[in-house]
Structure 1
Amino acid sequence: MSAAAPRLVALAEKILSGPLPVRVRAWDHSEAGPPDAPVLVIRHRRALRRILWRPGELGLARAWVAGELDVEGDLYRALDLLAELIWERPDDVPRRGALALARDPAVRQAVRELAKLAGPALPPPPPREENRSRGGLRHSLLRDRKAISHHYDVGNEFYELVLGPSMVYSCAYWEEGASPGFAGEGPTLEDAQRAKLDLICRKLALREGQRLLDVGGGWGSLVLHAAREYGVRAVAVTLSREQAAYARKRVAEEGLTDRVEIRVQDYREVADGPYDAISSVGMAEHVGEARYAEYAADLYGLLAPGGRLLNHQIARRPLADEEAYEVDRFIDAYVFPDGELAPVGRTVALLEEAGFEVRDVEAIREHYGLTLRAWVANLEADFARAARLTTPGRARVWRLYMAASALAFERNRIGVNQVLAVRTPSGGGAGLPLRPRVWSESVSG
């Protein structure tokens, strides 16, 4: 039998109508493709069956998670070279496989030959890290708890390894011209996360004695910073029991139990307003389009007149046909079940419809690329331990997801924005400084 790699490359290039930008190493150790390119390692022909039955991102992801597909060399460069094949091609292939799309007889023949190379067996079951237990209505209280547990209840030690001492799982705020210092030079991830926490507190104009609600409070980093540095009384709500246990331990260790409360609670169940300020950082992506108006109205109702909301949220680019939007299949199956992204304009409109006055929108897209690269560096520095703390498949999911997301932010396919909104009193005085972005100025009244 002839070597597999040259056949794979020739067939792929015929199907794609262009050169394959990476080198290929097949399960028989044969290689083909550009000599200086990253190497796509196909360890088992099962990977081909997954891709043929689920062409596009999901099939590739399943092969990656199962360890049947890997990259040797620079992962970012490999993903960048493959971007047009993975992200920028419509992932709308019917269940019956690639033959359904191949109209060119030559392409159909190439797909048949690829199927023969993959072997006659049916596609293997998805790796077990894939989320497949989704009982209940989408974005119901029960289903949202399950989705959050899938993502966050994978072990606090794993997140300590990836996130570092700050334990902040959202975009950091880097200095101008910064490049993360992964070798002891330049600003650290912890510096940038501390700067982000303080930026939020200053935008919210927190003062001693005020009440702060942090929706989706994670491991408690923001409420700890706000209570320690600004003297507020803070409540953080999360649906993750592991996060809550970790956050409560931190609160006790810092002696802040009289000022900080950590609850396992859905934001829809919070009923002890009014609060002077609300932060929602990296949580609104879990809300969903159908529930967003409810989310905005609930937060508006929990704020005192004059209170501020800081909504920190990932956004996608708008589509010409918004009804054509589909949730990313890999992210939905392996990372954030039921997560949805919306254009920033839609988010602003829904906040305004709820009664908020939107006063500032700050786009910090480039900051997320830097943050994700720092997380990937943490993961890669101790990957074997990360795999032991969860599973090898879960560690591989996080490496692929974070590296691909870093490129998505850098290529402007997605962004992240901090939206500052106010429940403006009936008299119209919002209490903000006249000069925008001068967050250190005192609030009138």
Structure 2
Amino acid sequence: MTEPKHILLIIGGGIAAYKSSELIRLIKKAGMTVRCVLTESGGQFVTPMTLAALSENEVHTTLWSLKDETEMGHIQLSREADLVVVCPATANLLAKMAGGIADDLATTLLLATDTQVLAVPAMNVRMWDHPATQRNIEQLGVDGLIVMPPDEGDMACGEFGPGRLPEPPAVMTEIMRHLGGGDGSSTLTGETELGPNPLEGQPAFAPDQHRPLHGKHVLITAGPTREPIDPVRYIANRSSGRQGFAIAAAAAEAGAQVTLVAGPVHLPTPAGVMRVDVETALEMEAAVHGALPADIAIMVAAVADWRADSRAEQKIKKQKGDALAPLELIENPDILAGLAQHEKRPGLLIGFAAETEKIEEHARAKLVKKACDWIVANDVSGDVMGGAENSVHIVTADGTEIWERLPKPEVARRLLRKIIEEI
């Protein structure tokens, strides 16, 4: 008989800590055991008694428990686990993890463990977007930790944006993915003991469900390109990369092998995604071709149409009273059209088109010109580029679907649902 998997759940201090109760229930329903470590600030939101009752195990709160050190050393706590899950992982806890600080039980366990660690961030959008947090996320990835991207949406503080803790069923899916999948021992659809599943009707591929893109390779481009003029100037656009990264995360959740070719953006790599960083259109084209073959290609990146014919080796100086010397531009390769003609053309080829007027008309013309299967046209006349929401037209040979303005992660989920139905 197979031994049950052991989860060590570290609960940080944030309002999202209340969701740890449902996560514990889901872990137990999946036939696993769970031990909880509650930080001092986490104890301001949930109580050890609640966690102990749900987990059916003692809850550990301090490094200085003589009883715990006699019966189970704090090092052993983490080493007996098959996976260490930090949920919620606050900005403060992520910073300590990235810096190797060990000043309480939770951070000492994290520094001492050789077990895989999955961190699930939750914090205010400004804290999430802060350069210090993004540096810490990047360092944790280098150190081999897995950081699950947060959701976007309304927050307890009244703001909107990335930083929401993903719903417990989505976290459970991620846990199962890093433990090698599930065998149907947990049911995450319909009613749970805590009421309706918050992801009911969403493409959250639960541990008991077949992951519909398993065995498929999905190639995605995201973000802008930068075309250098001289060492300090370049041609670029306002693409944030958020939509492409959200699609990559949704494809990985659906079980796909995902290659994400990313222009210069400051976004964390979605869990389970292989990321290739590029800067120019020529580099992006080479990376796309190098990633082939792929079953599905989704070209979301906003590739610069032109580049400077030659790059100045030194900064171009402005001369007072002189007219600006003309900048000679040449056309960049059309990566989407080139992929449509490639001998390794993906089975489903989807292009994105940023438009400010005549959205459907221009998108349908591009569908023919680029010889792709779908065009996802988004209206960028407002704050879409760099914003948290998107409004799209899905243009195919069979017609056009118009989607209302939605958060970009929801656009990604709907698009993945449509792709899965198509294939």
Give the TM-score normalised by structure 1.
0.30
Greater fraction helix: 1
**Structure number with higher strand proportion:** 2
TM-score (norm 2): 0.31
